[in-house]
């Protein structure tokens, strides 16, 4: 069998040309796509900034980050036929960096505010037997601080948000008392009135606003959430 080297060489040349053309088209097409990683990171930051209303604490930074991001989007649309997205990528990176600063500023303020709320609610929680909720809020707040130090902004926000939701259960205006099991000094409306209204004889005021919960004023049970009327 005679091997035709000219035909073989020509075939190889065609294959190489096909590979080069295909690669060129692939790279060109890739160039028309947004640099997804940089864009996604910037977009995620802006979404979190919106959710936590970061502009209340870092308005200039949030506005700047949004401007950089919009510029990146405009470049992608305007230069979609160009394989070079370096300008758009730079805008997304700038947006991410500026929004990082905004999130850090906002979260630092939010975490500090939550600390203040915890201290405000602490005596109320002790008074109405909601210390378990307070402790859970404090644990969430510690997570918020730890993750903030680690620059894990979504985790930090989720944790301090959870802490606030728990603290919302410790009411200031309409106070509640959780009945506890105490064999030595059994809870009763008389003692609750003495504790909250400074007069045990006012137990009927407590009973009046809790009739849907308490069928018999002489019988209250551990775990019941007793509304304390305002004096």
pLDDT at residue number 79:
67
Q: What domains lie within the chain, and their CATH numbers?
A: 175-228 (3.10.350)
Q: Which residues contact 35 (CB under 8 A, 6 or more apart)?
A: 85, 88, 89, 92
Torsions phi, psi of 120, nearest 5? -70, -40
Q: Whole-model pTM?
A: 0.65
Question: Cα separation of 231 and 8, whole Å?
Answer: 102
Q: Pick the more confident residue, 139 or 36.
A: 139
pLDDT, tens digit, 9 for 90 and up, residues 60-78: 999 999 999 999 988 888 7
Eight-class DSSP state of 13: H
Tokens (6 digits) for 62: 């949030």
Question: Cα separation of 136 and 150, whole Å?
Answer: 21
Torsions phi, psi of 175, nearest 5? -80, 150
Share of the chain above pLDDT 70, in %: 79
Q: Mean pLDDT throughout 28-47?
A: 76
Question: Cβ(215)–Cβ(222) under 8 Å?
Answer: no
pLDDT at residue number 9:
43
């Amino acid at each position: 069998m005679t091997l035709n080297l000219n035909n073989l060489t020509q075939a190889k040349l065609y294959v190489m040309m096909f590979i080069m053309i295909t690669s060129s088209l692939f790279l060109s097409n890739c160039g028309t796509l947004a640099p997804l990683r940089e864009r996604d990171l910037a977009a995620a930051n802006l979404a979190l900034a919106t959710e936590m209303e970061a502009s209340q604490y870092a308005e200039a930074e949030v506005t700047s980050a949004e401007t950089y991001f919009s510029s990146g989007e405009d470049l992608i649309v305007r230069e979609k036929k160009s394989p070079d997205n370096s300008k758009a990528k730079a805008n997304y990176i700038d947006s991410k960096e500026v929004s990082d600063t905004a999130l850090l500023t906002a979260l630092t303020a939010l975490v500090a505010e939550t600390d203040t709320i915890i201290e405000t609610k602490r005596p109320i929680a002790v008074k109405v037997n909601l210390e378990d909720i307070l402790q859970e809020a404090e644990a969430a707040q510690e997570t918020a601080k730890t993750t903030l130090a680690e620059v894990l902004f979504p985790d930090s926000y989720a944790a301090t948000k959870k802490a606030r939701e728990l603290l919302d259960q410790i009411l200031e205006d309409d106070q509640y008392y959780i009945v506890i099991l105490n064999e030595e000094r059994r809870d009763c409306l008389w003692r609750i009135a003495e504790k909250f209204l400074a007069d045990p004889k006012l137990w009927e005021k407590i009973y009046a606003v809790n009739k849907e919960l308490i069928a018999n004023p002489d019988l209250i049970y551990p775990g019941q959430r007793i509304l304390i009327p305002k004096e």
